[in-house]
Chain A
Amino acid sequence: MKEEFRFEDREEFIKKLEEVLASGVAPEKVNAVYPHPDHHIEEIFEKYVPKSKLKFFTLLGGLSGTIGGFALTILTVLHWPMITGGKPLISIPAFIVIAFEMTILFGALASLTGFVLLSRVPNFKRILYPEDYGNEFVLQIEREDP
């Protein structure tokens, strides 16, 4: 059974939320829907749920970008070594630029991937049947049937 509480006032919503979570309801069963990002609401939740793991995706992506960048440049130049401008074959200053850009690219793509995997967005059910709550703050609690 789904219990739903709608609030127009943010303060009321927050009070109710704190109440519900403090009362021992499992956080997975509590769903809050709100129209704009709200750090206070997040802080409340994060007392009971772990923080987002997205940063690890970003880190992994960034690192793979750096390594990949250097790997691409160094391995290709060793594969067919051609002298240009007398510069040493492994021109680190030049390759840093490539690695840097790839760090950012892979970091961004990895973050996006992480987001998709973690937040389950795109959500195909909701694409077909969207749920709109407007500017209201909504609290949905799944309670077991008695």
Chain B
Amino acid sequence: MKRRDFLKVVGVASSATLLSSCGVEKSTEKLIPFLVPPDEDYIPGQATYYGSTCTECPANCGVSVKVVDFNPIKLEGLADHPVNRGALCLRGQSSILRLYHPDRVKQPLKRGPDGQFQPVSWEEALQQVVQALKDASGAGRSNVYLSGRTTGSLSRLLDDFAKETRVERLPEYEPFSHVNLREAYRLVFGRKEIPFFRIEEADFLLTVGVDLLETFVSPVSYAHQLGRAKARDDFHWVHFEPHASLTGFQADQRFVVRPGSEAYLMGFLLHYILTNGLNKKRIPPEITNALPKVDVNLVAEKTGLDAEVLNRLAARLAEARTPLVLSGGVSVHQKNGLETAVLTALLQWALGATDRVVDFSRAENYASVGSVKDVQKLVERLSRGEIGVLLVSRANPVGTLPASVALAEAMAKAGFRVALTDFVDETARQCDLILPLSHSLESWGDAEPRKGLLNLIQPTVEPIFNTLSEGDILLAIADGYRGRPNVLSYQQWLLREWNRAYGEAFVEEFLKKGFFEFPAKPLPLGLNRPALTAFLKAARLDAPPQGHWLYAMPSLRMFDGRSKVLKLTSEIPDPLTTISYGEWITVSDETAERLGVQDRDEVAFLREGTRLALPVKVQPGLNGEVSTIHWDQLDRAFLEMDPRSGELLAVVAEGQLQKTGKKIAVPILSGSMEEAYERGIFPDHNGHGMKHHAEVRETLYPPHEHPEYRWAMTIDLEKCIGCSACVAACYVENNVAIVGEQEHLKGREMAWIRIEPFYGKDRDREMNFMVMLCQQCCNAPCETVCPVYATMHNPEGLNAMVYNRCVGTRYCHNNCPYKVRRFNWFDHHWETPLDRMLNPDVFVRHKGVMEKCTFCVQRIRVARDHAKDENRKIRDGEVIPACAQTCPTEAIVFGNLLDETARVTQLAHSDRSYRVFEEIGTEPAVYYLRKKEIKDEA
């Protein structure tokens, strides 16, 4: 570029840095980052994007990493990635905090003679490992490697490593191993895999307990597909569950069944289909005869549903063109979960779903993931003293296994324990040596989340701490073991492998695109008759025992507990209960009344001598015999294992609830979840809202002039699933402060956008989410009352917030009817290195200043600058605020209302569109698309 332009950019960027650095302690010394850039392509303040992979959960969504001034500051989904299609979930957005987390292990740690961890150098640490391996082999003991799910080249490297160092690779450990599901598919089809579910192609979706939108295998993918599916008029979704989950409330019809009865339900559906000859695929008689005998009345009794309702649903299922039945998650993590999974798989076959929508050719890659049974075998070997060196990588078995497995005690018998991890967790605390792993944003690698899909992992920043990637560690150990000098880095190894396996042309495209999808080979499926028949004969659809049930649901925010360390996941409230920090147990309305408890009263769940005491949250839509907690809050003593498959069972029955009388302070951020309809937050289902009672009157004020753009947003409430990814994205994009539990208890959360759950008209079956953010009102009540013009309306329709003019009277915040403004009660402090994560385009607010959503005005400005350079107007879709960008279901649409062809204009003028609290006369710029009419009983 011309030198003049360069200086211009440097000038602008440096003044931007000057402005933005005023509040950030670290960068006040450096006003101009570099006078002579170290790299030809580097422009200070300009963002570059790299394709990589999110490794916060096994779904491995493809991400685009935004890097500014050598700091990755935001993750966004890769637009055309087959898994997430441009979206990213709450945990994915928060995962950038993991990179900069101050509590990460910063260098190798060795346990000293006093039992405390001491820092050591990498040479020494690796040398110790090599020595220990050799010693153990010499003494005739086995060396084993236990890792979390490993795919792609790292798996191949591990195989090489295992061969060279004679270390045994154990089956991988994941708490959510879905082994019941995989075992079921093995029994039914002979394939121990989780197929890819093409939900968007189904026209009738029937799900049982599976948390598609929260943690199940690949939640962003399912959420995106459900968003597409819901946009179609011929899509109908029915969900059965005894507990209350986010997924369940998004279904068109939700049925609350008695706990433990899911297997009966599947048995009934199968029975109905087969008896009435409605199956699309043939099932041999040996299998049909082995099926458990269920009749509708028995099932009605077991599930608590009406026989008529059951029959009607089954009929509807049968007549659907592309039906899809799914079970998983909690419904198969119980004693009869394997039966449920098997019957579901058989049902999928019978309905012909396996032809298209249940796709094994793109199966999720859980092939090498074992089960608790495998860990039990390891425990036995450990107890017998057979294990020399135990290497645990990217897994926390001690923290997540049932207490009965007693892994920690057994580990003490191993010769030498090494943990490869990024935080000192329960497992690492049992080890002798901790080798810190680089974050995926600091390392090279690849991942294969699905068959035929290869994701690139590339570094976007120099390692923040003294860490290494796992590949480098393995290569170094192997070289040390073999007495070779360590010359090959993992990066070089990878490039060599890729070139060898796929060719040079592939590698170039791979590096540029961030992923590569290989063509899929169609897989013929057939029933695995002998195993299936044997299983069915022995199957028992257990009668639900008495007592109170505790369902440990996988947590949308914490996954299996691994994301708890990211403070942002605790800061953002759980969308169903709006509880942010802390733990809780839900009870139904009847149970609450029976026990005489309200929110925040403590109850104890007792079962066979184990007691779990937690504060209560009353949750409508729960079966009266069921309580739920989040999986990572369940006492390990309650966890059990299914001896047949090794699945981790997280449904505890035969317990009882007792009120303890204590009250615990829990930050429940919502004031109330009632009255949404009376207040016009949701219009009536037939389209009439508050407009019945209060008409929107003509305004007395002169209309605004918008010379160029008028920014507006539509949010489709039918598509919004409440996953709160938008909330996390907004936090990261706009440097919103994480204030912590004490401030939440005082009611001072800082979120600029929030998910507001409200009970529906039918309190038990419906829960709807309102997405509330600054409405950028034309007649904003907040603007009038600011004494210093710190907030005023700009010519593009935005309610502009001028941070440096705000004196902090808070009148604007009081006058906002939507209460979307947030005040900075204190100065906020981002502990190094978290301050590297701050977005330099957005000012960091000081104490005493008001803030709120700005429709990501920094992105609008960048787009406007580009458009001006190219002498054109901003195109539709060029500006995407952070919330809209990350939404898995594409519920948020943003654009220029003056542009008639823009998507937002068409949606805003559609017949489903309405605005909240319009009768106050605020003229908001955010339009909501109300939920479609609920199609009644099928």
Contacts and interface: CB of A to CB of B under 8 A. Distances in A.
Interface in A82-100: 82-88
A88 B699 CA distance: 12
A86 B923 contact: yes
A31 B72 CA distance: 89
Interface string B367-385: 0000000000000000000
A86 B699 CA distance: 10
Contacts of A82: 789, 792-793
Interface string B782-799: 111110010111000000
Contacts of B793: 82-86
Nearest to A91: B784
A85 B702 contact: no
B178 to A, nearest CB: 55
Interface string B139-150: 000000000000
B480 to A, nearest CB: 69
Contact of A87 (B701, B786, B791, B923): B701
Interface of B: 699, 701-702, 704, 777-786, 789, 791-793, 923
B792 A84 contact: yes
A83 B923 contact: no
Interface in A52-108: 82-88
A83 B699 contact: no
A85 B789 contact: no
Interface-central residue, A82, A83, A88, by most chain B CB under 10 Å: A83
A85 B780 CA distance: 4
A83 B704 contact: yes
B852 to A, nearest CB: 15
Nearest to B705: A83
Interface of A: 82-88
B838 to A, nearest CB: 30
A74 B704 CA distance: 20
10 contacts: A82-B792, A83-B704, A84-B786, A85-B782, A86-B699, A86-B701, A86-B704, A86-B778, A86-B780, A87-B784
Contacts, number: 39
Contacts of B702: 86, 88
A84 B788 CA distance: 11
A88 B700 CA distance: 9
B802 to A, nearest CB: 10
B704 A85 contact: no
Contacts of A84: 780, 783-784, 786, 789, 791-793
A139 to B, nearest CB: 57
B1 to A, nearest CB: 36
A82 to B, nearest CB: 4
A75 to B, nearest CB: 16
B924 to A, nearest CB: 12
Nearest to A81: B792
A86 B783 CA distance: 9
Nearest to B702: A88
A86 B398 CA distance: 61
Sorted nearest first, the 5 A-B pairs with minimum C-beta distance are A85-B784, A86-B779, A84-B783, A83-B793, A82-B792
A88 B705 CA distance: 12
Nearest to B780: A85
Nearest to A86: B779
Nearest to A89: B702
A85 to B, nearest CB: 3
A94 to B, nearest CB: 9
Nearest to B782: A85
Given A82-B793, A83-B792, A84-B789, 16 more contacts: A83-B704, A84-B791, A84-B792, A85-B780, A85-B782, A85-B783, A85-B785, A85-B793, A86-B702, A86-B704, A86-B777, A86-B783, A86-B793, A87-B779, A87-B784, A88-B701
Specify which of A84, A86, A87 lies most central, judged by the most chain B CB atoms within 10 Å of its CB: A86
Nearest to B703: A86
Nearest to B792: A82
A88 B852 CA distance: 25
A12 to B, nearest CB: 61
Nearest to B800: A82
A87 B793 CA distance: 11
Contacts of A83: 704, 783, 792-793
A87 B778 CA distance: 10
A95 B377 CA distance: 83
A92 to B, nearest CB: 13
Contacts of B784: 84-85, 87
A82 B792 CA distance: 7
Contacts of A86: 699, 701-702, 704, 777-780, 783, 793, 923
Nearest to B791: A84
A122 B747 CA distance: 58
Contacts of B777: 86
Contacts of B783: 83-86
A85 B781 CA distance: 6
A96 to B, nearest CB: 16
Contacts of A88: 701-702
A115 to B, nearest CB: 34
Contacts of A85: 779-785, 793
Contacts of B780: 84-86
Contacts of B792: 82-84
A78 to B, nearest CB: 14
Contacts of B781: 85
B705 to A, nearest CB: 9
Contacts of B779: 85-87
A88 B779 CA distance: 11
B696 to A, nearest CB: 14
Please indicate which of the listed interface residues B777, B781, B784, B791 has the most CB atoms of chain A within 10 Å of its own CB.
Answer: B784
